[in-house]
Structure 1
């Protein structure tokens, strides 16, 4: 299934209605307590993010984050000493991210640009390059990912690095979607993945990639992939999780942690790719 005919405004409206992770805290939106809880919850259920981003490594460097959302990773790059340029399609998400860096006294380290990742050359200052281009769980939601990755290459500085996460088609999550919602209708899998890929159902665009097709996506736009790995299986019961309780599904509750980690590396939902320019 192709999502090329989906209007980018439809994608923006979806994320404006409910920015990603916006409900990770019950504290007052925009307060320090709210942002601290959002970060704690995000990294509790996705603990691989800090090591993948490697925030401390980019101290004194220029970081371009494509798809900053409400600014959790943005803030941590800035805290670590990076100069951050953050792009997001959702104006509502960006408003929260701006508030976040203000609350933590980091506004002088972050610039924000609201717009479409497929049109980065129109958004960002001409001639700028970045030591790290980082995008976590974003570019699979744009109707024309190839257009976005083609633009990214021109913004990578010599010796710079791309770190991107897209969804893994051969994952536990996709199997769960297929069995729970698709009733085995594998021929409708692309639509099912899009509909059920996020906490808020009905995402208009979600592509999923294998290790091979993810690598090919980057390589055809001038990147040399140096590492590919899968991570992240969500182990918690959703009815409890939305009530801020962390109760694992019974089949994960009794699984040894070492076995669970092997399962994540084999069938994780997050396909993480690290690349450099060619």
Structure 2
């Protein structure tokens, strides 16, 4: 088995466990309060703020959309509730079970269609999607495999279609090295060599570039129009606040105002990014 295949197997095992027996009650609650959910999520949470920039919320109705790495299926459910015809793909079959439960418990105009397994082996029609999206998906792929996914993205998009990916950003080696030495969540500090090595062994993310330059160059092979939008430069300081409205107030201010920062500064310090690919290059 190749290293890439081993990484894919690790990803599959990780996400099968993560989404096994997933409770969809929160998703259904958000769908039943969709406007208020999106008003909050797209102004306080980096991934939602990033992906839904550029009036994306209002552009979805009647469009055909594919989400790569749909995970817990929250975003595919929201897009379907907004009137899109949604195809949801994930390596984990557990995500397909979430889709089944959502379709049974919510009256979408277009039931969500689950595309199971290795995305590259599914025979979806060329030039059939208005949008292809991914929330923290590409960075799970080793770079040679990522190139194949971007090639397939270009094949599946309509000539005027658009791909939107929210991904982590690492544009400073110094900041990245500092990050690894600060324990967070279930990740130990790099100072604790034994614990860090054990955590790294189970981590599904491959060692690869997360830089904006990488995704700009990778996209330019298949798209004429490539845009990288930094997200989270100021919002990262929300961790200094406790949970609650005070923290959300800071997040709203930070996400709204960080785009006013000089590009070089914003790009250097950002912790995430929206990658937009348009203008498919016909080969």
TM-score of the superposition, structure 2-length normalised? Answer: 0.70
Q: 1:33 aligns with which of 29, 34, 41?
A: 29
Q: Is the 8 A contact 2:67 2:134 kept in 1?
A: yes
- Residues 9-24 of structure 1: pairs in structure 2 closer than 5 A: 9-19=9-19
Residues 79 and 132 of structure 1: CA distance in aligned 2, closer, same or farther (over 3 Å): same
Q: After TM superposition, give the deviation of residue 11 of structure 1 in Å.
A: 0.7
Q: Is the 8 A contact 1:6 1:205 kept in 2?
A: no
Q: Is the 8 A contact 1:230 1:265 kept in 2?
A: yes
- Separation in structure 2 between the aligned mates of residue 53 and residue 212 of structure 1, nearest angstrom: 26
Instruction: Give the structure 2 partner of residue 125 of structure 1.
Output: 124
- Residues 97-116 of structure 1: pairs in structure 2 closer than 5 A: 97-106=99-108, 108-116=110-118
- Separation in structure 1 between the aligned mates of residue 190 and residue 33 of structure 2, nearest angstrom: 34
Once structures 1 and 2 are overlaid, which stretch shifts more, 36-45 or 210-219? 36-45
> Are residue 162 (structure 1) and residue 167 (structure 2) matched?
no
Instruction: Give the structure 2 partner of residue 150 of structure 1.
Output: 151
SS at 1:164's partner residue? Answer: strand
- Separation in structure 1 between the aligned mates of residue 269 and residue 104 of structure 2, nearest angstrom: 38
SS at 2:6's partner residue? Answer: coil
Instruction: Give the structure 2 partner of residue 210 of structure 1.
Output: 211
Q: After TM superposition, give the deviation of residue 272 of structure 1 in Å.
A: 1.2
- Separation in structure 2 between the aligned mates of residue 18 and residue 235 of structure 1, nearest angstrom: 28
Q: After TM superposition, give the deviation of residue 228 of structure 1 in Å.
A: 1.0
- Residues 1-278 of structure 1: pairs in structure 2 closer than 5 A: 4=4, 6-19=6-19, 29-30=24-25, 32-33=28-29, 44-46=44-46, 47-51=49-53, 54-106=56-108, 108-117=110-119, 119=120, 122-127=121-126, 129-143=128-142, 144-170=145-171, 174=176, 176-180=178-182, 181-183=189-191, 195=200, 202-205=203-206, 207-220=208-221, 222-232=222-232, 233-237=235-239, 257=254, 262=261, 266-276=268-278, 277-278=280-281
Name the structure where helix makes up a greater proportion of residues. Answer: 2
TM-score of the superposition, structure 1-length normalised? Answer: 0.71
Q: After TM superposition, give the deviation of residue 268 of structure 1 in Å.
A: 2.5
- Separation in structure 1 between the aligned mates of residue 159 and residue 140 of structure 2, nearest angstrom: 28
Residues 135 and 239 of structure 1: CA distance in aligned 2, closer, same or farther (over 3 Å): same
Aligned length: 247
- Separation in structure 1 between the aligned mates of residue 111 and residue 167 of structure 2, nearest angstrom: 27
Q: After TM superposition, give the deviation of residue 174 of structure 1 in Å.
A: 3.1
